Amino acid sequence: MILYSCMETQKYSRRVLFLIFFISLFNYIDRQALYAVFPLIKKDLLLSDAKLGFLASSFMLVYMCFAPLVGYYGDKYRRPLIIGVSAVFWSAATLCTGFVRNYAQLLFTRSAVGVGEAGYGTVSPSYLAEWFPVERRARVMALYALAIPVGSAIGYLLGGVLGELFGWRNAFFIVAAPGIALGIIALFFRETEEKKARVGTVSFSHYAKLFKNRTYLLVTLSQSISTFSVGGMAAWMPSFFVRSYGLGVARAGLLFGAVTVAAGIAGNLTGGWLADWLRARNKRSYFIIGYLSFFLSMPFGLAAVLTDSLRVSLTMIFFAEFFIFMNSGPYHAAIVETIPVSMRSMAFALNIFIIHALGDALSPSLMGIFSDHFGLSLAIFVSILYLGFGGITSILAGYCYEKDYNCEGSRI
pLDDT for 269-284, tens place per residue? 899 889 888 887 888 8
Query: Which whole-number Å values give the CA distances from 179 to 94, 188, 233, in the listed order?
Result: 10, 15, 25
Select the more confidently predicted residue: 142 or 60.
142
pLDDT at 387 over 90: yes
Q: Residue 313 — pLDDT band, cuts 50, 70, 90?
A: very high
pTM for the full predicted model: 0.73
Identity of the residue numbered 93: A
Rg (CA), the chain: 20
Nearest to 145 by CA among 128, 163, 165: 128
Average pLDDT rounded to a whole number, residues 69-84: 83
How much of the chain, in percent, has pLDDT values that exceed 90?
20
User: What's the angle, vertex CA 410, arms to CA 408 and CA 412, rounded to 5?
Assistant: 150
pLDDT given for residue 408 in this prediction: 44
Residues of 260-277 as b/e, b for ≥16 C-beta within 10 angstroms? bbbbbbbbbbbbbbbbbe
CATH of 18-404 given 3.10.20.440, 1.20.1250.20, 2.30.30.90, 2.60.120.560: 1.20.1250.20
Q: Residue 409 — pLDDT band, cuts 50, 70, 90?
A: very low
pLDDT given for residue 198 in this prediction: 64
pLDDT given for residue 410 in this prediction: 42
Q: Residue 232 — pLDDT band, cuts 50, 70, 90?
A: confident
DSSP 166-196: H-HHHHHHHHHHHHHHHHHHHTTPPPPHHHH
CB atoms within 10 A of CB 212: 10
